[in-house]
Structure 1
Amino acid sequence: MDSREMLPEKTSLLDDEEKNASRPRCRRPSHSVRAAALLFGALLLILTLSRLSLSNIPLPSCLKGHHKKPHHGPADICLTPACIHASSEILYNLSPDYQRIDPCTDFEELVCGGWRDRHDLRPDQGDAFTGTMMAESSEMLLRHILEAPYPDTSEHSSSSPSQLDTDSGSVDHDNFDKLKAAYDACLDEDTIKKIGITPLMEILNETSSRFSIARQSNSAKNEALSDTILYLAKLGVSSLVSSGTGADDKDPDTVIVSVSAPYRIGLPAKEHYEDEKIVKRYEEVVSQVFSALKLGTTHGSVTAHSLVEFEKKLAAASPDAEDRDDVTKYYNPMSLTDADSLVPQLNLSNILKNLVPSGYNLDRVIVMAPEYLKDLAKLLDETSEDTLRSYFLWKAIQSYAGYIEADAVTPYRQFSNELQGKDPDSKPERWRTCVGHVDDGLGWLLSRFFVEKAFSAKAKDFGDQIVSDIKDQFIKKLKSTEWMEPEVVDLAIRKVHNIVQKIGYPDKSPNIMDPETLFKYYERVNINSSAFFENAVSMTQLEVAREWAALGKPVDRDQWDMTVPTVNAYYNPPGNEIVFPAGIMQFPVFDVNVPDYVSYGAFGSVSGHELSHAFDSTGRHYDQNGNYTDWWTNKTVSNFKEHAECFIEQYSNFTVDGADNKPLHVNGRLTLGENIADAGGVAAAFAAWKKRAAETPNQHLPGLDFFSQEQLFFVSYANWWCGKTRKETAIQRIFTDPHAPKWARILGTMANSRDFKESFHCKAKEPVCELW
């Protein structure tokens, strides 16, 4: 967990765990024209037979009004391999009984019933969905890149915006060698096991020595606290407090320092500390790991119970999940002196001044959780030095245990799996771990090679078109919005015009098209093909140093916060920007070669989702320039809150099975912004597609004449969210994830879509909740 975790500004489509599991997918070209023709003929025959057999199934009387069967001539049907591929994907995911299911009451089962039947979770997976499949396909592509020799000229994609230099002495080649060395070091499990706990023990010994029990006075204890927190912060480990840099919400061109409670104290959610079974098991794990590492004999006495009790108090003091990213609550600018006074034992000024660049005058910080810091001050006075030392050691273990292979840390890995309902001894295949490791630490280098293989200039242009169309339609919706007063509508339209759209990959900061720029970007990262742990430390230290080096400079508005292979997207309020990496612009979410309703239904809704964040419960606080300010009138705010309460109540009625088999309700307040964005995204995307289709009619997909094109738009939207989740993972996400469960994102969003209800001829056309 690095120090940047506490910065809340960007709102992404998926949560952090899903992002880690969601790397992109690209479609492989057919190996030969003959093979393509054979596949085409076989699929067409299967789909035709399927269509003929299903067309004779009588509909129940309750469904007869939902579907008006269109009549298509042969010229109206798209029979290209890409269209047949898209049709087969949809048919594969549909429930076998899709013609008998009422879409107005159970659209998720209709679209995704087949997906669940045909996909099992691996023992190492807490959940999976269509995005996971996209990610795993792309992971395989990245694996092939990393395990193959440097690409030669014949392997280059002619449509790629990136063209690699084939010279063996080129900078591109040097960058590739760095990627390979990092990947190979991660794959070398024999060496990692042989080294064992040694590199981790070096960090633990240094941590312990900085918090020496020999220091008896209060001033010495405070100095030790400060020194230890600083040491761990430079390693990307958050302990007691999180600190980092980012755009000042009220001055978004200026970089500011923020201080907060760590997002994660020890257990994944603060609610876990209220579960006696989990706490007892957690204590056992802490005790086992400390005993195996012999920390109790060389570093003073260790009591797992006292450590976990301390964490429990920290968790109770930390902000609730629905409050920690609320700018109206976390934006508390203070002088450094005032911040110091909240928790004098830590000497925050000393910690921060050792992180900022030399010569930078730090006199003001954003204290995101002042009450937490006040409570922390009391806790530090009540907590023994042994417990505090154990806490620091445990934070280092939690952060770096994943980079060693040793029996000593096995109990922690098993426990982490158990919390998510996974097989305790399960691990992802090693190559998957290593692809993720390289993407995390050398992501822009890997992005260049990914783009060269999996993205085209044509795809980028189509993505730009969709996002621009969404903007136009959102402006139209703003103009017809009755709950906003006219002066607010005018400012909102200006905000939409000002939104920066970043599509595919960055060409600045860094420019991944320029190998020399990339070489310099990672020049300070030391990579050794037989030193996995040290590589990980070097990667982390570069990111920490780069973050703090931003102070004293204007905010870098060209920077991206997701690498290109990532299957995700985000909206950044202070930057007023929406960002779509190439990873999410892959089949089946996005395809330039199929009818537009497929891409507008999925990727278009994602685009509208991110744009809608500009006006959700968080984004509404930022004006057209990204300034946190009150630009809405009181009446507009009151009207918004009234509409928002509808979403809160609606989603709070969705439940998952809790640990005690009692219903556990979705947190409607925590998920409010995402639920608003889902509804707004679908509405804007549907309007954008309808306008395009009126100008250039779409062809129909083969084998899917049960659905109209309007209906297939919504099928494509829901298809993106088809998935399954283990019970324990679902519970954990209720506590921590600002997104509703995926099935609820289908059912809730369709219930809020007038266009959906009209397209499927539902009896009730009025949305349950509606903003746009």
Structure 2
Amino acid sequence: MASASEKTGLFGAHPPQELPSAPHARAHVHVPDRSQCRRRFLRGAIILFGGLAILNACFRSTSAPNNPAPKPTEIDVCLTPACIHASSEILYNLAPNFKDLDPCTDFEELVCGGWRERHDLRPDQGDAFTGTIMSENSQLLLRHILEAPYPKSSEHSYFSPMQLGASSHSADEENFEKLTSAYKACLDEPTIKKLGISPLAKIVAQIKLSFPLSRTSSALSSNVLSDTILLLSDYGLSGLVASGTGPDDADPDVVVVSVSPPWSIGLPSKERYEDGALVEKYRGVVVEVLSQLSPEENKDVLAAVVDLEKKLAAASPSTEERQDVTKYYNPMSLQDASALAPQINLSHIISTLSSGNKVDRLIVASPKYLQELEKIINGTDAAVLQSYFVWKAVQAFYSYVDSPVVTPYKGFVNELAGKDPNSAPERWRTCVNHVDDGLGWILSRFFVEKAFSAEAKDFGDLIVSDIKDEFVKKLKATEWMDDETTSKAIEKVHNIVQKIGYPTKSPNIMDPDNLASYYQTLNISAETYFSNALSANAFAVAEEWSTLGKPVDRDQWGMTVPTVNAYYNPPGNEIVFPAGIMQFPVFDVQVPAYVSYGAFGSVAGHELSHAFDSTGRHYDQNGNYTDWWTNGTVKAFEKRAECFVEQYANYTVPGSDDKPLHVNGRLTLGENIADAGGLSASFQAWQRRAAEKPNLHLPGLESFSQDQLFFVAYSNWWCGKSRPDTAINRIYTDPHAPKWARILGTMANSREFRESFQCESKKPTCELW
């Protein structure tokens, strides 16, 4: 865990087609605790996605309140291939009956009705939206890179390490070979099938050896329990506790150790353990799988693993509490923390992981959990604990083996997300993600060469800089903030670091020698898929703990370059936009600026707004967790924030019992505030630029004003669909509101939108900035 702070982003920390429930919790039980370094780096960030069409009166009934936009002359229309492509994307997404819809009340259907009709979920998908399509387009490009030979000198673009630096050609080729070896090993399904359950069985045997049953429960005070937790940690897994390193929220240049409840207990959220039918179905799967890996064990013992999980889930903080820095930032001495749960011998765990670095102080995300954990361990039979540890390994690594032993769990995971029980992504997709998880920075180097440009980087920097300027204006105009707080807030905006496109340090992806050095200790083979996964996990864990005793490396990125996402990091006071999100249809230097400002610009504004939302407001201009707002400003903020809480709590999805399941307005508060603030700041930034350099119109959309097309571009982001079970899981675990609500709620809170469409009421439902 990078810090005790919550780093949230546009739609979550993982690929948008399988979004997480939260940056540090898993939305799907099948997601393993892999890539701990990246996951824990993202622990403190606010991630955009966990995962845009406008009409005018001439397209609507005569009773519509809108007036038609002035019809542009032919010379005002952009007819380049890029503009035609952008226009067709918007027209493609509009509802077939858009002329009959009122944008002031049915904007999401108006914008996205066509998208839903033209996009079906594959059997292996729980949900999908525009970000999913973008991610899969990036996956396809990465597939072509990985399945092609190393590019010849003549095939390198000008935006390449071969051109931008005196890098070693041989190192670049060796890096590429490492990539393709990992990819080929993953694609080698015959070998994976031949090995069957044996790679996972070896892990199970190691766990049983570490936690033998030739003793009584009263003997747990020895290091046997902590050594088993350490064994799981070596594999990148969280057992009874999760531990990691990252910036100290109150002193963000110092690396601190953090301890928390596991990110995932078993089912997607603690609330799902209250569903009796689901729990019993899950119990049956656990028994069926474990009885084959531990045939010597009594089935009652195996069944009790689920009872243990229920107790752990009940003791764990809610997702909402995990997002609240005032709840999870609990610094204390290692001695005091260890006293909360003597059975797990926290001192032994931390001293071993810290490799000689003295640790006197750490952050305990939930002291109450540790106290409850001590009681739970004391009341649990050793055989159940052993089976629980085995089950953690199964959950983490079942997808890396091909065996009927784990088939029941694969089916359960799919069903839990509403998917076909026997479905699986195309193998190449799995393997592209596998390479990105383990060798993401090398993969990023080749992605940048194919999918990014210097012009795109400059344009992205310009948009972000423009929005920072507009946010300063908003702060100056905010009447509910006192002068002292406003002055510090403006300083915070000026201090925000913007990272665009790709990292040039820690590592420098444009320097093959630097990349080779970075991954020097990561051994990859073209024949051993399972071992490659273990090596990647061990590499990430070692990298994370190696930061102890060193200053925080502020040049690190928490997302690889192909990632279609973005984030704000409170302790680092930085906003980060990988090149993966700066792609069509949300970003394009060759189309009218209102498209990129409406979509990508709103993303940039969203991330910047996080600096002043319900979490970001606790961090000052230097990233320190401290109370820097006056009491009067805090009260004024809370009063306005309560409007957002109540507004989004009125949105619902069908629950498992077909009763309405309400969005958690408090869990999603930060994201909803960021959506509203980001949209407004980006709109103002675009209008200022458009006044200096007028935009052309898109063909076929001449009846829309450019103001309206700005909101089209924004809303196209969130066009999507979801299976019922996936939607339920997200309500409990995702700090983002459902995609459709991010359109309806944000438009309801936009004065500019309501004025653009001449809605009867121009007053926003909720307004902060």
TM-score range, shorter chain: over 0.9
Aligned residue in 2 for 1:89: 89
Q: Matches of 2:168 and 2:239 in 1, distance apart? A: 45
Counterpart contact for 2:656–2:725, Cα < 8 Å: yes
Is contact 1:344–1:377 with CA below 8 Å preserved after alignment?
A: yes
Contact 1:239–1:395, Cα closer than 8 Å, also in 2:
yes
- Identity level (%): 65
SS of 2:478 mapped into structure 1:
coil
| 1:604 is aligned to 2:605 | no
Structure 1 residue 19, shift from structure 2 partner: 3.9
Change in Cα spacing, 1:79 to 1:217, as seen in structure 2 (3 Å) is: closer
Match of 2:362, SS state, is: strand
- Residues 578-608 of structure 1: per-residue CA shift (max 9 Å, x gap): 0000000000000000000000000000000
| Residue of structure 1 equivalent to 2:278 | 278
1:239 paired with 2:239, answer yes
Matches within 5 A, 1:558-577: 558-577=555-574
- 2:60 and 2:101 in contact (8 A); partners too: no
- For residues 75 and 183 of structure 1, the distance between their equivalents in structure 2, rounded to whole angstroms, comes to 50
Residues 162 and 448, structure 1, Cα contact 8 Å, conserved in 2: no
Amino acid in the other structure paired with 1:413: K
Partner SS state of residue 295, structure 2: helix
Match of 1:350 among 324, 348, 351: 348
Q: Is the 8 A contact 1:166 1:173 kept in 2?
A: no
SS of the aligned residue for 1:707 comes to coil
Could you tell me which of 628, 634, 638 is aligned with 2:635?
638
- Distance of 1:164 and 1:769 partners within structure 2: 48
User: What is the deviation of 1:292?
Assistant: 2.5
Q: Check the 8 A contact 2:467/2:685 in 1, yes or no.
A: yes
**Do 2:161 and 2:512's aligned partners in 1 also have CA atoms closer than 8 Å?**
no
Instruction: Note if 1:589 corresponds to 2:586.
Output: yes
Matches within 5 A, 1:271-670: 271-293=271-293, 295-297=294-296, 303-358=301-356, 360-670=357-667
Unmatched tracts of structure 2, length 5 or more = 21-54
Distance in 1 (alpha carbons) for counterparts of 2:550 and 2:355? 11
Q: Secondary structure at the match of 1:354?
A: helix
Distance 1:168 1:615 in 2: 44
Residue by residue, what CA displacement relative to the aligned partner does 1:197-244 show, whole Å, maximum 9, x if unpaired? 111111111111111111337345542111100110111110110100
2:223 is paired with a residue whose SS is helix
User: Residues of 1 paired with 2:6 and 2:397: CA distance?
Assistant: 26
RMSD, aligned CA: 1.9
Distance 1:375 1:216 in 2: 21
- C-alpha contact (below 8 Å) 1:571/1:614 kept by paired residues: yes
What letter matches 2:62 in structure 1?
Answer: S
Distance 1:56 1:106 in 2: 14
1:79–1:159 distance in 2 versus 1, CA, 3 Å: farther
Instruction: Kindly provide the amino acid, as one letter, of the partner of residue 154 in structure 2.
Output: S
- Alignment correspondent of 2:50: none
Q: Which amino acid aligns with 1:708?
A: S
Shift of residue 164 of structure 1? Answer: 8.7
Q: Which amino acid aligns with 1:304?
A: L
Is 1:152 the equivalent of 2:152?
yes
CA contact (8 A) 1:345 1:377 kept: yes
**8 Å CA contact 2:56, 2:69 repeated in 1:** no
CA 1:690–1:168: 2 relative to 1, 3 Å: closer
Q: Which residue in the other structure is 1:31 paired with?
A: none
In the alignment, which residue of structure 2 is the partner of 1:74? Answer: 74
Q: Given residue 701 of structure 1, which amino acid in structure 2 is its aligned partner?
A: L
Say which SS state the counterpart of residue 334 (structure 1) adopts: strand
Structure 1 length as normaliser, TM-score? 0.93
Matched position secondary structure for 2:611:
helix
Specify the code of the residue in structure 2 equivalent to 1:296: P
Q: Is the 8 A contact 2:247 2:571 kept in 1?
A: yes
1:718 offset after TM fit, Å?
0.2
Q: 8 Å contact 1:161–1:457 — kept in the other structure?
A: no
Kept in 1, the 8 Å contact 2:60–2:102? The answer is no
Mapped pair 1:105 → 2:84? no
Q: How much does 1:68 deviate? A: 2.0
CA distance in 1, matches of 2:648, 2:169: 57
How far apart, CA to CA, are the structure 2 residues paired with 1:717 and 1:59? 21
Q: Conserved in 1, the CA contact under 8 Å of 2:563 and 2:578?
A: yes
Give SS of 1:254's match: strand
Q: Is the 8 A contact 1:152 1:166 kept in 2?
A: no
Secondary structure of the corresponding residue to residue 497 of structure 1: helix
Question: Are positions 1:705 and 2:721 aligned together?
Answer: no
Distance apart, 1:291 and its partner CA: 2.0
| Alignment-mate amino acid for residue 84 of structure 1 | I
What's 1:208 paired with?
208
Q: Distance in 2 between matches of 1:55 and 1:661?
A: 37
- 5+ residue gaps, structure 1, are 24-53
One-letter amino acid matched to 1:280: E
Judging changes above 3 Å, is the alpha-carbon distance between structure 1 residues 239 and 6 closer, same or farther for their aligned structure 2 residues?
A: farther
After superposition, give the CA deviation of every residue in 1:533-558 in whole Å (9 maximum; x if it has no partner): 00000000000000000000000000
Q: 1:378 to 1:179 in 2, by over 3 A?
A: same
Secondary structure of the corresponding residue to residue 498 of structure 2: strand
Letter in 2 for 1:150: Y
Q: Cα distance 1:441–1:18, how it changes in 2: closer, same or farther (>3 A)?
A: closer
Equivalent in the alignment of 1:60: 61
Q: CA deviation at 1:20?
A: 6.2
Quote the Cα distance in structure 2 between the aligned partners of 1:217 and 1:280: 27
Which SS does the other structure have where 2:353 is aligned? coil
Aligned position for 1:138:
138
The C-alpha deviation readout for 1:355-399, integer Å capped at 9, x for no partner, is 0132x1111111110001111111111111111111111011111
C-alpha distance in structure 2 between counterparts of 1:697 and 1:525, whole Å:
52
Residues of 2 paired with 1:160 and 1:487: CA distance?
47
Structure-2 separation of matches of 1:208 and 1:7? 32
In 2: Cα distance, 1:436 partner to 1:290 partner: 28
User: 2:285 touches 2:412 (CA, 8 Å); kept in 1?
Assistant: yes
Aligned residue for 2:100, secondary structure, equals coil
Task: Determine helix, strand or coil for the equivalent of 2:557.
Answer: coil
Q: Which amino acid aligns with 1:282?
A: Y
For residues 244 and 168 of structure 1, the distance between their equivalents in structure 2, rounded to whole angstroms, comes to 35
User: Counterpart in 1 of 2:668?
Assistant: 671
The 1:650/1:222 distance shift into structure 2, 3 A limit, reads: farther
Distance in 2 (alpha carbons) for counterparts of 1:169 and 1:607? 36
Provide closer, same or farther for how the CA distance between residues 21 and 452 of structure 1 changes in structure 2, counting only shifts above 3 A. farther
Q: Could you say if the C-alpha distance between residues 22 and 435 of structure 1 is closer, same or farther in structure 2, counting changes exceeding 3 Å?
A: farther
Structure 1 stretch displaced more, 525-534 or 216-225 = 216-225
Q: Does structure 2 conserve the Cα–Cα contact (< 8 Å) formed by 1:503 and 1:582?
A: yes
- What is the CA-CA distance between 1:159 and the residue it aligns to? 4.6
- The answer for the alignment partner of 1:727 in structure 2 is 724
CA distance in 2, matches of 1:20, 1:6: 26
SS of structure 1 residue aligned to 2:359: coil
Which amino acid counterpart does residue 703 of structure 2 have in structure 1?
A: F
3-state DSSP of counterpart to 1:272: helix
* Residue pair 1:6, 1:260 contacting (<8 A) in 2 also: no
Which structure 2 residues correspond to residues 223-238 of structure 1 after superposition, within 5 A?
223-238=223-238
Q: Secondary structure at the match of 2:99?
A: coil
Q: Distance in 1 between matches of 2:56 and 2:261?
A: 59
For the structure 1 residues 658 and 441, does the alpha-carbon distance in structure 2 shift closer, same or farther, using more than 3 Å as the test? same
